[in-house]
Amino acid sequence: MNRRTIRPGGFYMLTRRQMIANTAAAGAAALTLPAFGQPTTKKRGFTLRVLGTHVTLQEQIRLAAEADLGFNIEFTPGGSASVLQRASTRPESFHVYEQWSNSINILWQSGAIQPLSTERIKNWSSINPISKTGRLTPDDTIGAGDAPNTLLYVQPGNTLGSQISDRVSYLPYVHNVDSFGYDTRHVPVGEPYIEESWGWLLDEQWHGKVAIVNEPTIGLFDLALAAQAKELIQFENIGNMTISEIDKLFDILIDFKRRGHFTGVWNSVPESVAFMKSGRAVIESMFSPGASALRADGIPVRYAAPKEGYRAWHGVMCLSSACSEEESNAAYAYMNWWLSGRAGAVMARQGYYISVPEPIKSYLSKDEWAYWYAGEPAKTNMLSSDGREIAQKGDLRNGGSYTERFKNIAVWNTVMDDYEHTLVRWGEFLTTESSV
């Protein structure tokens, strides 16, 4: 069954039992989340519970949102697979869910989230084209897989698609293009878009020093792009692989794992930082905040601009299907706050973009905007969102401007038609022991 044909009430052919089993399998090696009901603030009154990842659920954002909105906010961050498993099976345990667009099919089919009304999103008309059409300019190529617009609008019959409507499955907000990071003390610097390649992840030079993100809708594509770049496999459509292609890919990857090529998998941004900071990895799947954190610690990590193109993702903010009216009102207020500028500036300083960029100019200096969005050389030393130096005067952001980076998308984070089969093989990959 086509993954985009989503039935009213939330289910494909999957039963809820299958959904629980599948999402649990995806999170088999993920971090354990703290229990809900443990407020992060001593204020009395209503508390908005937000479930998501460390990428966006940062303490400085929580404190700023509380101050501006006037109600308590509780953040519960965790690894992407584990929070998705929790959200899809326990909608009563959160009010707002924040992750990436590849989680939408799972959340929608499980009945864990409810549609948002675009009339209640104040800056809806200002949300930029990458969110609504899958590309920043009409001349850009849309990457393979689930571009964000294909999962955005609620269609007749409660399916999801790209046909514009006044109900959406999520609020588009933070987004970026991802690649891999490498420690330039060990891995020679390559020219962006010319020499840097996903194939480096499977290069024998870095045997035993490669780490991968533990997420079958993300790490799978990092490894697929790497295997294709090394000419170990060729996909007809990398965004929707066939079962035979999936099996061939995992046979290749499991062979690499048996031979000790991978040092491990990571489940969260802090864990990815620890892999490289300890020297356990010199090259790995990485999200932009991880690379920024390492540079702030004095480790010369370069975030690659692969010649094959990036793996792109789009952040989604979703409303729990279990929300009351009061909870929904607070959730909409929180979502609107995210697009008002302050949070977007925090995201910019760790290398991310926001779907309504203009308001963040009030919170960034002109030099910061020029560096992060326009791709210009830093006119002063650049600081991260926690105030640590991550770029020096004259440095360029690898990959160039916002526009340049989003012209080079190979594939979006995607839940493929044969997602269930990838879960089985991903689990096999994770549990395979090295023979060396």
148 and 194, same domain (yes or no): no
- Tell me how far apart the alpha carbons of residues 344 and 317 are, in angstroms, rounded to a whole number: 14
Residue 256 lies in domain: 176-310+408-431
Q: CA 342, CA 435: separation in Å to the nearest integer?
A: 50
Do 165 and 245 share a structural domain? no
Asked if residue 395 belongs to a domain, the reply is: no
What is the model's pLDDT at position 44? 53
Residue 141 per-residue DSSP state: P
Are residues 143 and 246 part of one domain? no
* 208 and 291 both lie in a single domain: yes
pLDDT at 215: 87
Assess if residue 89 is contained within a domain. yes
Q: Kindly state whether residues 302 and 318 are assigned to the same domain.
A: no
pLDDT at 54: 87
In tens, the pLDDT along 290-328 reads 998 999 999 999 999 999 999 999 999 999 999 999 999
Q: Which segments of the chain have a pLDDT < 70? A: 1-44
Residue among 106, 101, 247, 85 at smallest CA distance from 175 = 101
Residue 363 within any structural domain of the chain: no
Residues 305 and 343 in one domain: no
Burial class (CB in 10 A: 0-12, 13-18, 19+), 383: middle
Determine contact, residues 132/125, Cβ cutoff 8 Å. no
Instruction: Tell the residue number behind the tokens 């941004």, with chain if given.
Output: 269
Task: Tokens 């706050």: give the residue.
Answer: 337
pLDDT the model gives residue 305: 97
Helices (H) and strands (E) in the chain, counts: 14, 18
- As for how many domains the chain has, the answer is 2
Both 92 and 125 in one domain: the answer is yes
**What does residue 50 show for φ and ψ, rounded to 5 degrees?**
-120, 125
Task: Let me know if residue 373 belongs to a domain.
Answer: no
CATH number at residue 339: 3.40.190.10
User: 393 in a domain, yes or no?
Assistant: no
Report DSSP state, residue 142. Answer: P
Distance separating alpha carbons of residues 77 and 75, to the nearest angstrom: 6
- What pLDDT, on the 0 to 100 scale, is given for residue 67? 97
Q: Is residue 64 part of a domain?
A: yes
Q: What is the pTM of this model?
A: 0.85
Position of tokens 């790209």? 162
Non-local (6+) Cβ contacts of 132 within 8 A are: 149, 152, 164, 172
> Residue 8 falls within a domain, yes or no?
no
Residue 323: inside a domain:
yes
For residue 36, how many other CB atoms are within 10 A of its CB?
Answer: 15
Claim to verify: residue 190 and residue 324 sit in the same structural domain: no
Specify whether the CB–CB gap between 54 and 77 falls below 8 A: yes
Q: What does the pLDDT read at residue 217?
A: 84
Let me know whether 90 and 157 are in one domain: yes
Check whether residue 246 and residue 330 sit in a common domain: no
Are 219 and 298 contained in the same domain? yes
Does residue 305 sit in the same domain as residue 348? no
